[in-house]
């Protein structure tokens, strides 16, 4: 398996456990230096005999955006499964899969940026995919339930072949309502990303005025100017202590090891960022 050193906990935990059991061999490509990531990932893909190529479209620990998915798909071994985790891209940045959809699986969920909460996820599969998953549920051949089992386990001719079993659809209803709201408001992913980028700049400009050493420009990962998603990540010493100080000042953010993540969404405006800056100054001012 070829992947990155920046995959989300669910994927990393499962694959590392499989490595412990001897069922998987994994090669992880680091993000930095950021300007050569795609080149290095493609070189690794061409050099190895991989069965699975898996990477995130937007890295969860930095918001780094992988730019050339087409090149990565082209570099992957012919028989390898290519899967792209689009969670931090979906409803956060414009996504165009027209040049990779015949080669790659693309998956994600509506928990964060799509404002759908838990239980709503998706999997886009390449056309003509005839994989027969070993872990399979009875929804994977829903249309044949009345015809008997047959000699071999049957699968739906489309993406239903990856379905599991009975599920709670409440998350899907929430997702539909969220998407309807955005459509009615005339808001698309590009507008959401522009709004987030504007708020990010407002925040970074404010930090410069405050001259906070803990969140100085040099701590930003990836550096300013590198394409990023809808949050800012700062790599800092004593991240746990700084996270607690921020929490004590009613600033609710994420901490991922050494990194503090500040997210900016459609439900924020400039006045929210001003309040954030005031709180951050109170928490981290030397």
Question: Rounded to an integer, what distance in angstroms lies between the CA atom of residue 251 and that of residue 241?
Answer: 13
- What's the total number of domains in the chain? 2
Contact of 138 with 165, CB cutoff 8 Å = yes
Q: Which residues have C-beta within 8 Å of that of residue 260, sequence separation ≥ 6?
A: 215, 233, 234, 236, 239, 242, 243, 246, 253, 254
Residues 102 and 31 placed together within one structural domain of the fold? yes
- Residue 286 pLDDT more than 90? no
- Shared domain for 178 and 244, answered yes or no, is no
Q: Please state, as a whole number, how many other Cβ atoms lie within 10 Å of the Cβ of residue 248.
A: 11
Structural domain boundaries enclosing 241: 189-284
* 210 and 250, same domain (yes or no): yes
Asked if 129 and 6 sit in the same domain, the reply is yes
Per residue in 52-93, pLDDT (tens digit) is 999 999 999 999 999 999 999 999 999 999 999 999 999 999
Q: What is the pLDDT, as a whole number, of residue 151? A: 86
Q: How high is the pLDDT of residue 143?
A: 85
Pairing outcome for strands 81-85 and 121-124: unpaired
pLDDT at residue number 145 = 82
Both 211 and 269 in a single domain? yes
What is residue 161's three-state secondary structure? helix
Residue-wise pLDDT tens digits, 252-284 = 999 999 999 999 999 999 999 999 999 999 999
E strands, the chain, are: 2-4, 27-29, 52-56, 81-85, 104-109, 121-124, 220-221, 231-235, 254-256, 259-263
The overall average pLDDT reported for the chain is: 95
- Domain membership of residue 150 (yes or no) is no
227 shares its domain with 262: yes
Distances (CA, A) of 281 to 93, 156, 169, 277: 29, 56, 43, 6
Predicted local confidence at residue 92, as pLDDT: 97
CATH of the domain at 48: 3.40.640.10
* pLDDT reported for residue 148: 74
227 in any annotated domain: yes
pLDDT the model gives residue 199 = 98
pLDDT the model gives residue 100: 98
What would the mean pLDDT of 27-52 be, rounded to a whole number? Answer: 97
For 136-173, how does the pLDDT look when each residue is reduced to its tens digit (9 = 90+)?
Answer: 999 999 888 888 777 899 999 999 999 999 999 999 99
Average pLDDT over residues 95-110: 97
Span 221-234, average pLDDT:
95
């Amino acid at each position: 398996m070829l992947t990155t050193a920046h995959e989300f906990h669910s994927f990393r935990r499962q694959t590392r456990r499989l490595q412990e059991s001897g069922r998987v061999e994994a090669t992880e490509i680091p993000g930095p230096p950021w300007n050569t990531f795609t080149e290095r990932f493609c070189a690794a893909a061409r050099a190895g005999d991989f069965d699975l190529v898996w990477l995130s479209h937007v890295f969860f620990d930095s918001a780094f955006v992988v730019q050339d998915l087409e090149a990565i798909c082209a570099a992957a071994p012919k028989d390898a499964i290519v899967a792209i985790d689009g969670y931090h891209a979906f409803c956060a940045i414009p996504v165009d899969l027209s040049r990779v959809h015949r080669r790659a699986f693309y998956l994600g969920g509506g928990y964060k940026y799509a404002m759908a909460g838990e239980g709503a996820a998706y999997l886009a599969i390449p056309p003509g995919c005839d994989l027969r998953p070993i872990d399979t549920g009875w929804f994977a051949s829903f249309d044949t339930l009345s015809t008997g089992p047959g000699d071999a386990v049957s699968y739906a001719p489309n993406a239903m072949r990856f379905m599991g079993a009975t599920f709670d659809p409440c998350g899907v209803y929430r997702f539909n309502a969220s998407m309807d709201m955005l459509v009615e408001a005339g808001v698309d992913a590009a507008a959401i990303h522009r709004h987030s980028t504007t708020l990010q700049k407002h925040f970074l400009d404010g930090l410069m005025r405050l001259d906070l050493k803990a969140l100085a420009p040099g701590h930003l990962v990836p550096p300013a100017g590198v394409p990023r998603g809808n949050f800012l990540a700062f790599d800092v010493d004593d991240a746990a202590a700084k996270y607690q100080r921020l929490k004590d000042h009613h600033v609710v953010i994420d901490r991922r090891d050494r990194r503090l993540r500040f997210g900016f969404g459609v439900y924020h405006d400039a006045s929210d960022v001003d309040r954030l800056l005031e709180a951050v100054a109170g928490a981290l001012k030397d």
